[in-house]
Chains A and B, each alone.
Chain A
C-alpha cells in the first residue's frame, strides 16, 4: 500500500517551508549566526510533538519508555535552546545603550 496523497501533501508543505526558511534566514546578519544556531537547536526540539504522539499512543512498556526518552531528549533542546539563545541575545547592545 502506498499513500500517494499523504506523501504529496507532506512534500508540498516541506518544499514551501524550505523556501520560506531560505528567504528568512539569508537575512540573518553574521553577527547573530551563533544565536541562530542555538535557536535552531530549540526549534528542532519540535520533535517533542512527535515524541508526545508516540508516547501517548504506546500500550506496551517498551513504547512508553522509548516515548519518555524521546520526550526527554527533545525537552533538553527546547528548554536549553531557547534559554541559552535568550542569554546570548540579551548581551547584544548598541553603543548608545551600553551600561557604563
Chain B
C-alpha cells in the first residue's frame, strides 16, 4: 500500500470518528426541546463530514451518475419535507423508512456485483452481511410501503387476515436461510435475487394483518430496521461510520417500539401477529352495554362548565387530528387562560398515529411545550382538576383498564380522566375505539357527552365562552 493510499484511509477514518461524535452529541441535544434544533443541526453537520470524508478519501471513478442521484434525491427530499402536513408526518416517516431500507438493499446488490466481477474470494462474513443487508432492507421497503398505504388510506387499515399466513411466513423464513447458505457456499446473483424477492414478499405479509391503530409500533420497528439494514451494510463494506450511525438509529427505533408496546400493555409478538381489534370482545366486557343511558349536553353547557372552572386538562387523541381541531382547541385554551383558569394537555404515549404525534400537532397550533404533559406527569393531577375534556381519544381513557379483568385492554396504562371532578367527552357517536370495547368512562355520573364534529363543537364553545 502506498503512503498516499494509507494516508487517505487514515484521514477518512479520523473524519468518521469526528462524524460519530457529532451524531452522538446531536442526539444528546434532542434531550430537551430547548436544545433540540441545534442537535438536529449537529447531526446534519456529522452527515456532511462523513460524506466529504468518503468523497475525499476514495477514488470516485465517475461522477455523472452520482450527481444525478444526488440532485434527484435531494429534490424529492426537500420537496416532501416542505410540503408534508403535520397530520401526515407518520406517512412521511414510514415512506422514508422504506427508502432507507431500499438504499441499503441496493448498496448490497452493487457491492455483490462488484465482488463477483472482480473475481476475488468473498469472505463468509462479507457474504452473510450482504444477505442481512438486502433481507432487512427489502422487508423494510415493502413493510413501510404497506404501513404508508394503511395510514394514507389506500390500503384498508383494518387487519387483513390471510389464511395460513403463519405457515407461509415460516416457509419464507426457511427460504431466506436456504438462499443465504447457497450464496455463502457458491456466490452468485441468483440466491441474492431469490432472497430479495422473498424478503419483499415477507415485508408485505407481515404488515398487512396489523391494524391501523397499531401503526405507531410498526413504524417505530421499521425505523429501527432501516438503521439495522444500514449497519449490516457497514459490516459488508467494513465501514465504521455506517455501523455506528446505523446502530444509533436501530437503538432509537427499538426503544420507541418498547415504549409503544408497554403503553398498550401488549407484547411485540402480540402486535406483530396482527388481527388485534377484530371481534375478540363479543360477550366479554363490551357487548350489550350499549343501551345504558349517557348524559348528553350542548356546547352552551360545556362553555359554562369550562368558563367557571379553575383547572382544565385537555385530553387529545387521534380524533382531534382527523377533525383538524388543534388550532381551535389552542384558541379555547388561550381564552380560558385569560379568565385565570389553569390549562394543561394530557398526552398518552399512543395518542395519534406515531410516537409524539400529538405533541407536534399541538406545537404547530402554537401550544407551548411546557403545557404538554405525559402520562407520568399528569395522572396524579386529574383528582385535583375541575374539568377534563376528552377530544377524539377513547381506549386510553377507559377506566376498565384498571378495574375489569375481563376487558381486552385490562392492564394498559391509561389517563385517569375519570378522577377529574367532571368530564366532557367530545365524540361523533357512541362507537367503540380500536380495542372494540365500550368505554366505561362514558357511563359515569360525572361524564357529559358532547356529540358532533370536534372542530364544530370547539368553535361553538369558543363563541359561547366569549359571551360569558
Contacts and interface: CB of A to CB of B under 8 A. Distances in A.
Interface of B is mostly: helix
Contacts of B73: 71-76, 78-79
Find the residue from B28, B30, B92, B113 having the highest chain A CB count within 10 A. Answer: B30
A80 to B, nearest CB: 3
Contacts of B237: 50, 53-54
Interface string A49-80: 11111111111101111111111111111111
Contact of B96 (A7, A41, A58): A41
Contacts of A83: 77-78, 81-82
B183 to A, nearest CB: 15
A51 B227 contact: no
B54 interface: yes
A7 to B, nearest CB: 4
B47 A46 contact: yes
Interface in B202-248: 219-220, 223, 226-227, 229-231, 233-235, 237-248
B243 A10 contact: yes
A82 B43 contact: yes
B128 to A, nearest CB: 9
Given A43-B227, A46-B241, A82 B359 contact: no
Interface in B344-380: 347, 349, 354-357, 359-360, 363-364, 366, 368-372, 374
Nearest to B51: A48
B269 interface: no
Interface in B65-109: 65-66, 68-70, 72-74, 76-78, 80-82, 84, 86, 89, 92-93, 96-97, 99-100, 102-104, 106-107, 109
Contact of B110 (A18, A22, A33, A70): A70
A72 B69 contact: yes
Contact of A31 (B110, B121, B374): B374
Nearest to A98: B368
Contact of A36 (B20, B103, B252): B252
B62 A64 contact: yes
Nearest to B107: A50
Contacts of A7: 125, 235
Contact of B252 (A25, A60, A94): A25
A1 to B, nearest CB: 5
A35 B92 CA distance: 12
A50 B237 CA distance: 7
Given A37-B355, A71-B66, A89 B100 contact: no
Contact of B242 (A3, A49, A90): A49
B163 interface: no
A1 B124 contact: yes
Contacts of A89: 33, 36-37, 40
Given A20-B248, A56-B59, A43 B47 contact: yes
B224 to A, nearest CB: 8
A84 B84 contact: yes
B458 interface: no
B250 interface: yes
B114 interface: yes
B450 interface: no
B242 A50 contact: yes
Contacts of A70: 69, 103, 106-107, 110
A50 B60 contact: no
**Most chain B beta-carbon neighbours within 10 Å: one of A64, A73, A79, A90:** A73
A53 B58 contact: yes
B69 A68 contact: yes
A22 B61 CA distance: 38
B69 to A, nearest CB: 3
Interface in B374-398: 374
A62 B100 contact: no
Contacts of A62: 113
A76 B55 contact: no
A52 B66 contact: yes
Contacts of B78: 79-80, 83
B374 A30 contact: yes
B125 A2 contact: yes
A46 B110 contact: no
A24 B47 CA distance: 18
A63 to B, nearest CB: 5
A42 B360 contact: no
Contacts of A80: 76-78, 80-81, 92, 96
B325 interface: no
Given A41-B97, A85-B40, A55 B70 contact: no
Contacts of B164: none
27 contacts: A1-B122, A3-B123, A7-B235, A24-B31, A24-B248, A28-B27, A29-B32, A30-B355, A34-B360, A35-B30, A37-B252, A38-B92, A44-B226, A44-B230, A47-B104, A48-B47, A66-B110, A71-B70, A72-B70, A75-B74, A78-B47, A81-B81, A82-B44, A83-B78, A86-B40, A87-B81, A91-B366
